[in-house]
Amino acid sequence: MAVAAQSLSSVPPSRAATGSPEEDRELSRIFTAYTISATFWLLFGTAVGLLLAFKFGAPDFWAAKYLTFGRLRPIHTNDVFYGFASIALVGCAYYVTVRSCGTRLYSATLARIGLWLFNIAAVAGTIALDLGYNWGDLEYREWPWPIRLVFFAALVVTVWNLLATIARRASKDIYLSNWYIIGGFLWTCVICLVAILPWYQKGLGQVAISGYFMHNAVGMWFTPLALGLFYYAIPKVLNRPIYSYALGVLAFWTNLIFYPMLGGHHFLFSPLPWWLQTTAIICSVGMLVPVLGGSANYLLTMRGRYHGRIESYPLAFLFIGVLGYLIGSTQGTVEALRSLQAAWHFTSFTVGHSHLTMYGFVTFAVWGGIYALLPLATGKNPGRFGVALHFWLALVGVSIYVISLSIGGTVQGLDWIRGKPFIQSVIDMEPYYLWRGVGGILMFLSHIVFAWNVWRMTKGQPGNAPSPIMEPEGEAAA
Amino acid sequence: MNALLILVPITLVLAGIAVGLFFWAVNHAQFEDLDTPKILPLLDAAPPRHGNDDAPR
């Protein structure tokens, strides 16, 4: 089959076909375009998020119709999801797939069409939400369905392009990163369709579909794309192969088995059947297998290279991303247990959890991937100071954010269990809301620095940061 | 609630497809060699050729 696919592709693969200088430049231009788009959405989406953070402490601040919490909150979540994280990960996926297959991109035109579709969906979705057109409070699918259809079209165009690229790979084996990338794309196509089809979108059926879509959109889209990026970027930066390819294969397939059924854990104690809730909990516990296996694999690959001082900032971003994956996903398993969910669900603890995973894991993975790979594509390094500043602002910011919401969310949940008046839980949350805003400011500042770094890696004057590829087994290995 | 009558079969079918893909991959020797593919990211141009790969080049 693999052989057949190779001979079927229009241009037979050969070593000579691997990236002529012009094709390398084309790939670099596509990677650059996706990264710049994603950076814009990061700045926009998190500026909205920062405003929202302060609305908890000062609800009357900027409370005009178009700036109300109810309209801005889904704008923040959808734009960082479908604008920033999706576009950034797809840009990285193009680079990783082409390079790890040792071949050329199937179609640069399709890649550009995909980028336009992603952006059109995000712009239209933002405008629609702000004008009050939405699909109710269904998490991560607040955009009206025609707009989500545009996003679906972008997925189809991209996965077509990536599959055709993989079909012309130069080696027989499909590298692990591509399994993750393609698995994520195909699964997300399925859930996007299920989430758009109108039947059963009422009552409890809507709840079941919401659980199905909302958590799969996180864990079968962002997670596999970020893990696929890890499997390429971490070995690349370290100039050292992944610790265990076999462990990666195990983690991939167990992820595929356990993840799709765990979305129901957001509806424990709801009228959904008890057996479905229990299945979701069992699958949540099963996720420990790929999470611990995958994290161990990444950390063992980095062995000897993360002690004492930071040798490489791209590696530091990837390292924090791995820790975010490990801690955030394990926390997710624990939160799915009934006794703990009774205290934590619907509190700010869950908001802390989602930022630990989407920011501590996915966003740090994206940044690590961009700092590791974009300079290789464009030949331009960012400035050493800019990357360090970005790293520390983002790390300190997200730590303050997650820790304050985790403590505050626990207090909030205990207040509710004790049956205190609701307003008491609001009063108790006040200092934690303030700290969240402080963390948010640092995070947003780090995004401005990131934008500056992206500029230097693409269009602007390159900086003085060293090559992202580390010297193999430097003095740290001794 | 009828959604479950659709969602559960869809999930089972997809899980079946995933299992099928897994066996496709195993039967097509994707996981025969779990050591050499790991060097693919370190090569930018010329990946290793396997002895049993007789694709026309």
- The CATH number for A433's domain is 1.20.210.10
Asked if A199 and B6 come within 8 Å (Cβ–Cβ), the reply is: yes
Q: Cα distance from B54 to chain A (closest Cα, Å)?
A: 8
Tokens representing A68 are: 């109300």
Specify the pLDDT at position A198. 83
**Does residue A351 lie within any of the structural domains?**
yes
Q: Cα distance from A379 to chain B (closest Cα, Å)?
A: 14
**B17 at A interface, C-beta within 8 A:** no
Residues in chain A closer than 8 A to B53 (CB atoms)? 3, 172
Tokens 């035109």 locate to A109
ipTM of the complex: 0.76
Q: What chain A residue is nearest to B46 in terms of C-alpha separation?
A: A15
Helices (H), chain B: 3-27
Look up residue B48 and give its DSSP letter.
P
Residues in chain A closer than 8 A to B51 (CB atoms)? none
Asked if A200 and B49 come within 8 Å (Cβ–Cβ), the reply is: no
Q: Closest Cα to residue A222, out of A368, A93, A336?
A: A93
Q: Pick the last residue of a domain from A109, A141, A174.
A: A174
Residues in chain A closer than 8 A to B18 (CB atoms)? 253, 256-257
Asked if A194 and B33 come within 8 Å (Cβ–Cβ), the reply is: no
Tell me: the pLDDT tens digits for A258-297? Answer: 998 888 899 899 888 899 899 999 999 999 999 999 999 9
Asked if B3 and A172 come within 8 Å (Cβ–Cβ), the reply is: no
Q: pTM for the whole thing?
A: 0.91
Interface with chain A: mutation pick from B35, B40, B42, highest number of A CBs within 10 Å: B40
Of B34, B45, B54, the CB nearest to A246: B34
**Does residue A295 lie within any of the structural domains?**
no
Mean pLDDT (chain B) is: 75
Q: Cα distance from B48 to chain A (closest Cα, Å)?
A: 6
Please report, in tens digits, the pLDDT of each residue of chain B (57 residues total): 677 787 788 878 888 888 898 899 999 888 888 888 998 888 864 444 444 444 444
**Does residue A271 lie within any of the structural domains?**
no
Residues in chain B closer than 8 A to A200 (CB atoms)? 2-3, 6
A449 and A307 belong to one structural domain = yes
Residues in chain B closer than 8 A to A241 (CB atoms)? 38-39, 41-42
**Does residue A432 lie within any of the structural domains?**
yes
Cβ-Cβ contacts under 8 Å for B1 (sequence gap 6 or more): A203, A204, A205, A208
Look up residue A259 and give its DSSP letter.
G
Tell me: the pLDDT tens digits for A130-142? Answer: 999 998 888 899 9
Q: Cα distance from A181 to chain B (closest Cα, Å)?
A: 15
Tokens 């802390």 locate to A352
Distance CA A375, CA A205 (A): 48
**Does residue A243 lie within any of the structural domains?**
no
Q: What chain A residue is nearest to B9 in terms of C-alpha separation?
A: A261
Q: What chain A residue is nearest to B29 in terms of C-alpha separation?
A: A173
Distance CA A148, CA A362 (A): 22
Per the structure, how many domains does chain A have? 2
Contact present, A231 and A242 (Cβ < 8 Å):
yes
Distance CA B46, CA A2 (A): 18
Residues in chain A closer than 8 A to B48 (CB atoms)? 171
**Does residue A434 lie within any of the structural domains?**
yes
A314 and A167 belong to one structural domain = no
CB-defined contacts A:B, below 8 A: 121
**Does residue A239 lie within any of the structural domains?**
no
Q: Pick the last residue of a domain from A174, A192, A211.
A: A174
Asked if A102 and B45 come within 8 Å (Cβ–Cβ), the reply is: yes
Going from the C-alpha of A37 to that of each of A80, A84, A403, A415, A437, the distances in angstroms are 12, 8, 30, 43, 26
Specify the pLDDT at position A380. 95
pLDDT < 50 regions, chain A: 1-17, 475-478
**B51 at A interface, C-beta within 8 A:** no
Q: At what angle do helices A108-131 and A21-57 cross, to 10 degrees?
A: 10
Going from the C-alpha of A418 to that of each of A267, A411, A415, A432, the distances in angstroms are 22, 11, 5, 20
A317 and A168 belong to one structural domain = no
A310 and A452 belong to one structural domain = yes
Question: In chain A, what is the straight-line distance between the N-terminal and C-terminal CA atoms, in Å?
Answer: 45
Q: Cα distance from B12 to chain A (closest Cα, Å)?
A: 10
**Does residue A148 lie within any of the structural domains?**
yes
Distance CA A405, CA A417 (A): 18
Containing structural domain, residue A392? 303-470
Residues in chain A closer than 8 A to B4 (CB atoms)? 205, 208, 273, 276
- Mapped onto helix, strand or coil, the DSSP state of residue A472 is coil
Contact present, A177 and A110 (Cβ < 8 Å):
no
Q: What chain B residue is nearest to A12 in terms of C-alpha separation?
A: B57
Q: Pick the last residue of a domain from A174, A206, A222.
A: A174
